Amino acid sequence: MKRWPAAPAFFIGLVSYIFAIMFFFVKPIISVIVLSGFVGICLAAPFFPGFTIFLPVIRRGSRETNAVAITFDDGPDPRTTPFLLDLLAESGLKATFFVVGRNAQKYPGLTRDILRAGHCIGNHTYHHDVVIMAKSEEKLAREIDSAQDALKQFGIRPMAFRPPAGVVNPKLGPLLRDREMICIHYSCRGFDMGNRRIHGLSGRILAKIRPGDILLLHDSFPNSAQFRVDQWLDEIEKIIGGISRKGLRVTSLPELIHRPVMQGQMKNGDGLSH
């Protein structure tokens, strides 16, 4: 198994500790400031997906490419995912679905449809508990493993994990390392609030998308009276068309990051290579 480098938090903490000792006998207040700063960084870091202070995180591919990858979180959902799969098929695109284990288990036909269409599946925990990172290491491990077990019935093993709400903590790195998994975040999103804020989504995405971006979208049906599937699909279609007009192409996540995100072969015999 590939050995991970020490997390940046270790080196930042070590340097902070050394500086604190150096200044303690000269000006103790500086020691307090240094250590307080380190604690502040550790407390704030989990809420900023761009930070990789606790563990290696893949946020995007190379800026030298002309490609981007599209990912969808929180599904599958029978009210949205089938229509999305049709749209992706018409566009000839491959996406990665970070599925909630409970949903995959509840809608096995949809999960198989995702795989048959040639898309990848990643682990997005079993229950999608947005405060799971504030709970014990045992509960976090159980969420990851339960989702893996739910997806095992389809003959696959996701190698990519995306934490709910993008929040990480120091416990996550060792858990993923032991399971030979990688943490995938994103570098471009439209702040759709889980599809509760669809209006203008394509404009927000296309205004900032850049080569190498991993795009975050959702295929969940939100608890919102304003959500309409046709409007949501229209925004997705505009995003796809706008990406092409910008001279970019949509590629699969494994191709963009040069890492596999899923292993396995469907039990009905359909081959998979992601």
**Does position 84 have pLDDT exceeding 60, yes or no?**
yes
Same domain, 43 and 69: no
Q: In the predicted model, what is the mean pLDDT of residues 125-136? A: 94
| Tokens, residue 155 | 């003959």
Among 134, 189, 132, 140, residue whose Cα is nearest residue 164: 132
C-alpha to C-alpha distance for 74 and 219, rounded to whole angstroms: 6
C-alpha to C-alpha distance for 222 and 230, rounded to whole angstroms: 14
**Does position 270 have pLDDT exceeding 70, yes or no?**
no
> Does residue 270 form part of some domain?
no
Q: Which residue type is seen at 97? A: F
Same domain, 82 and 17: no
Q: Which of 71-85, 165-179, 249-263 is least confident? A: 165-179
Same domain, 204 and 170: yes
Q: Residue 149: its pLDDT value, please?
A: 98
Q: Residue 29: its pLDDT value, please?
A: 74
Same domain, 260 and 223: yes
Same domain, 113 and 30: no
Q: In the predicted model, what is the mean pLDDT of residues 223-250? A: 96
> Does residue 3 form part of some domain?
no
Same domain, 132 and 240: yes
Q: Residue 119: its pLDDT value, please?
A: 97
Same domain, 67 and 37: no
Same domain, 72 and 193: yes
pLDDT digits (tens, 9 = 90+) for 250-265: 999 999 999 999 998 6
3-class DSSP assignment, residue 67: strand
**Does position 51 have pLDDT exceeding 50, yes or no?**
yes
**Does position 30 have pLDDT exceeding 90, yes or no?**
no
Cα distances (Å, whole numbers) of residue 201 to 165, 193, 238, 254 = 18, 11, 9, 25
Kindly report the number of other CB atoms within 10 A of residue 42's CB atom: 16
Cα distances (Å, whole numbers) of residue 214 to 63, 68, 206, 220 = 11, 6, 13, 18
For residue 30, give its domain range. Answer: 8-47
Radius of gyration from C-alpha coordinates of the chain: 20
Count how many domains the chain has. 2
Q: Residue 267: its pLDDT value, please?
A: 58
Q: Residue 38: its pLDDT value, please?
A: 44
Q: In the predicted model, what is the mean pLDDT of residues 100-105? A: 98
**Does position 32 have pLDDT exceeding 80, yes or no?**
no
Cα distances (Å, whole numbers) of residue 170 to 5, 96, 130, 134 = 14, 26, 16, 11
Q: Residue 218: its pLDDT value, please?
A: 98
**Does position 220 have pLDDT exceeding 90, yes or no?**
yes
> Does residue 119 form part of some domain?
yes
| Tokens, residue 94 | 């491959």
Same domain, 107 and 82: yes
CATH number for the domain harbouring residue 186: 3.20.20.370
Q: Which residue has the higher pLDDT, 38 or 215?
A: 215
Q: Which residue type is seen at 227? A: F
Same domain, 149 and 35: no
Q: Which residue has the tokens 């279609």?
A: 237
Q: Residue 15: its pLDDT value, please?
A: 45
Same domain, 16 and 109: no
Q: Residue 21: its pLDDT value, please?
A: 62
Q: Residue 141: its pLDDT value, please?
A: 98
